[in-house]
Amino acid sequence: MLNNILVIADQDIDQLAAMEKARSVALDETRITVLGFVPASAGVDDKKIALQKAVDTHFSDCASATCDVVATDDIAGYCRQYCADNPTDLVIKTGNRSESLFYTPLDWQLVRELDCPVFISTLQKWRARHTVMATIDVESKEPHQIAMNKKVILWAQAWAQKHNCALHVAYCINVQKALAELDIVTKDEVEAKKAKDVEAKLQAFLKENAIDYSSILIKAGEAPRVLPSLANKLKADLVVIGSIGRKGLKGALLGNTAEKTMHKLRTDIAVIHPD
């Protein structure tokens, strides 16, 4: 599953969560590349010495782990070109966030612009058997969403099987905000009317794709609020979510449902993109 992992060490290298997660998921034959960055006008020698020391510590038993330090003012652009030129199955980066800010501009750019899965790590360590929650939109009839659902769920299952995790599948039944606010329909009413039909669709989808799952979670509301709530209820360590991505000014202004959901998640996040 993961033959080539890129770890982005853009922060001070004493924040080693991304390296720790990379080592946890790497196979014996996995090639791990750790890239550190400094401004274009800065020298790389001091950071390269420190980064090499960190890599030697975390990947002492991994012969194929290498590192480099790049002087550039466009980290996202460099990573995008690196992934285009080199086979990359997963990009791992420690997320920088606060209660008022989702992540740094670099985190946003990587999530939106890279085609391979992007793993944004928290500083929290995994439990011995961590819990994975995959989110899909089973009611959509759009071909790109159907393809995305399959890609997300297969990726999540492969991860869960490899790391002996419990896999849970979550779906949010959309309730038009305006209708709910006007009491024309309540979330409970929508959930009562649609939950059984949605669960049947989910079970059929999971059976069709031979997915071994622990539970199905369905709740009505707004996805950016409901899905983090479900993840918190599960005590999920990792949430796997699909994103079509929005680039440029449109993306900066609008974002998308996946990004709005990610803003409220307090877990590790794996963002899967369409082919």
Q: How far apart are the C-alpha atoms of 149 and 143, rounded to whole Å?
A: 10
pLDDT along the chain (275 residues), means of 10: 88 72 87 94 91 90 89 93 96 74 71 90 83 92 89 95 93 76 75 90 95 94 92 94 63 58 88 83
Each residue's pLDDT tens digit, 42-93: 899 999 999 999 999 989 888 789 999 999 999 999 999 999 999 999 999 9
Q: Please tell me the predicted confidence (pLDDT) of residue 227.
A: 94
pLDDT at 12: 61
Ordered domains of the chain (ranges, CATH): 4-121 (3.40.50.620), 131-272 (3.40.50.620)
Q: Using CA atoms, how far apart are residues 222 and 119, in angstroms rounded to an integer?
A: 24
Three-state DSSP string of 22-44 = HHHHCCCCCEEEEEEEECCCCCC
Residue (of 30, 19, 212, 213) closest to 119 by Cα position: 19
Residue 26 is predicted with a pLDDT of 87
Residue 247: the pLDDT is 52
- Contact present, 141 and 149 (Cβ < 8 Å): no
Q: How far apart are CA 53 and CA 144, in angstroms?
A: 44
How many other CB atoms are there within 10 angstroms of residue 274's CB atom?
14
Q: How far is CA 66 from CA 56, 62, 87, 170, 249, in A?
A: 9, 9, 15, 37, 35
pLDDT of residue 117: 94
The DSSP string of 121-152 is E-SPPPPTT-EEEEE--TT---HHHHHHHHHH
**Residue in 114, 140, 148 with CA at minimum distance from that of residue 240:** 148
Q: Tokens 């090499």 sit at which residue?
A: 52
